[in-house]
Amino acid sequence: MCGILAVLGCSDDSQAKRVRVLELSRRLKHRGPDWSGLYQHGDFYLAHQRLAIIDPASGDQPLFNEDKAIVVTVNGEIYNHEELRKSLPNHKFRTGSDCDVIAHLYEEYGENFVDMLDGMFSFVLLDTRDNSFIVARDAIGITSLYIGWGLDGSIWISSELKGLNDDCEHFESFPPGHLYSSKEGGLRRWYNPLWFSEAIPSTPYDPLVLRHAFENAVIKRLMTDVPFGVLLSGGLDSSLVASITARYLAGTKAAKQWGAQLHSFCVGLEGSPDLKAAKEVADYLGTVHHEFHFTVQDGIDAIEEVIYHVETYDVTTIRASTPMFLMSRKIKSLGVKMVISGEGSDEIFGGYLYFHKAPNKEEFHSETCRKIKALHQYDCLRANKSTSAWGLEARVPFLDKEFINVAMAIDPEWKKIKPGEGRMEKWILRKAFDDEEHPYLPKHILYRQKEQFSDGVGYSWIDGLKAHAALHVTNKMMLNAEHIYPHNTPTTKEAYYYRMIFERFFPQNSARLSVPGGASVACSTAKAVEWDAAWSNNLDPSGRAALGVHLSAYDEQVPSVGTGIPQIIDNVPLKMEVSSPGVAIQS
């Protein structure tokens, strides 16, 4: 990930303003420690902090077209850049950067080129011929982006809140799949897939089509000129990513550059479930496995940094971000600059356990659509900012546009969880990779029950956070919480503790409004409660209080591993998660 900052039409082209823009851009330096650049055209400023992944030698930004009339600063990766270059034979490219195609596509097609980009991205493009500009964010919101407005009528764009929160009168999250056009004076949605309308799809399930679509999504994300690896928790989704990547490296020229063995990374408390499962998968796949341990105190000590970098006070996001933040620092210390991760699968396939209670395929499908649309507020935000804090890039193949189109076109009747028929959550994904002749994973891994990441790293992690918060937040403070924090009032001591830290870093009203909560959190659990009233008693977002739902989901005799229903190990069911879109890091 890189960091971008733009100040557009600020009515100030002084040296003092330039110095201020540089100062604000440096707040994003953690996202791109390799190089920085600033382009000024009158009172327009485009700044960039670069993390060099493709063409490290010559791909510095901002980037230009041939006559430098079009200027662009980009955060992201364009996976189909080579194909796009071939489609522009009359254009001369200055660098080998994947992002170099953007200025030339604008020249050729105007503002309507964004849907041609296959990748994750946020960018600002300035046309100096008429001082018009456009801003765009990728389809799902994998890259973070914010927009702000100054009192002088200027528009500010930043990869993170900290780049604009002190200088804008108002700011907010830039919506995913949207484009801002100065010519039109507002936002419009450029990403309009069929599933977005939530119309019920009817395509029959074809396991090979789904398998090939995901393999393609993973392979295209291996585009890199620097060392990379995979995040491996030992759960289904990260294990599939690792398996596909290892197979590809073993049979292609990519192995000559980085070695035939894939590097994998896992984090957890000593003896945690994820560490054990990840080691088993790594041994099976033959990866060079890196196991990172942390203590509860290590995590607690990092909480303030995590909140500063992830820019939220959402409880589940902070719980899950902290181990990922600590792991990212270790990964970067090994010289790795890019990792592939497994976010998005549970949203696409209805992998959360409350989907057991979905009354029909229509509601099942509608809920998956809603959860995908909310990913940018939770899992995408966490994955992007936890890794970017240390100059590490995370790529997420489950959120590939083409793969989502395939997966969301499948008749949701196939996605429904039917224990009586041997169909557990995400059964169609598991079945697609259940290859007897050339197995991708061992059966018990392929059909392993999901762990919420914040539990999978060690069950004492959440308990330790709660105990720490209780030492710093009194009962009297909780009694007055609604007066201190009338918006998104914290209802637990842990939430209050995180809110205090967040407000210290980001005291502006726009900042607190940028974090989902209140009505959005109520919405996030509404379906779970509607489908099963027992969820209304679940006050802790880890999902522990709803253990009865997990037990009832598998209250029949459990068959052998591989039929689609997970085993109960030592009579203790594995942990579960609730319906909040921000609850789970993909395991």
Report which DSSP code applies to 28: T
- Estimate to the nearest angstrom the gap between the alpha carbon of 143 and the chain centroid: 8
Give the single-character DSSP code of 564: S
Helix and strand numbers (H, E) in the chain are 23, 17
Q: Which tokens in the block code for residue 227?
A: 């060392």
What DSSP letter does each residue of 439-459 carry, written as one string? -SS-HHHHTPPP--HHHHT-T
Q: Tell me the H-state helices in 376-508.
A: 379-388, 401-408, 427-432, 443-446, 453-456, 460-472, 475-479, 481-484, 493-505
d(CA 575, CA 587): 12
Q: Which residues pair with 174 in a beta bridge?
A: none
Tokens 């579960």 belong to residue: 576
Locate 400 and state its tokens.
């590939």
| Three-state SS at 236 | helix
Question: What is the SS3 assignment for 409?
Answer: coil
The strand pair at 288-293 and 263-268 is best described as parallel
Measure the N-to-C terminal CA separation of the chain; round to a whole number of Å.
22
Residue 259: CA count within 13 A, CB half-sphere: 10
What residue type is 452 in one-letter code? Q
Cα 82 versus chain centre, distance: 25
Q: What share of the chain is helix, strand, coil (3-state, %, to 5)?
A: 45, 15, 40
Tokens standing for residue 564: 């689609």
DSSP letter, residue 568: P
My answer on whether omega of the bond before 62 falls inside 30° of 0, hence cis, is yes
DSSP 572: B
Give Cβ neighbours of residue 467 (< 8 Å, ≥ 6 apart).
Answer: none
Does 2 participate in catalysis according to the annotation?
yes
Cα 64 to Cα 60: distance, rounded to the nearest angstrom: 11
Neighbours of 297 (CB within 10 A): 10
Distance CA 79, CA 15 (A): 38
Nearest Cα to Cα of residue 141 among 584, 582, 583? 582
H or E element, residue 41: strand 35-41
Given 2, 168, 369, 380, which residue is catalytic? 2
C-alpha–C-alpha distance, residues 145 and 133, integer Å: 16
Q: Which residues participate in catalysis according to the annotation?
A: 2
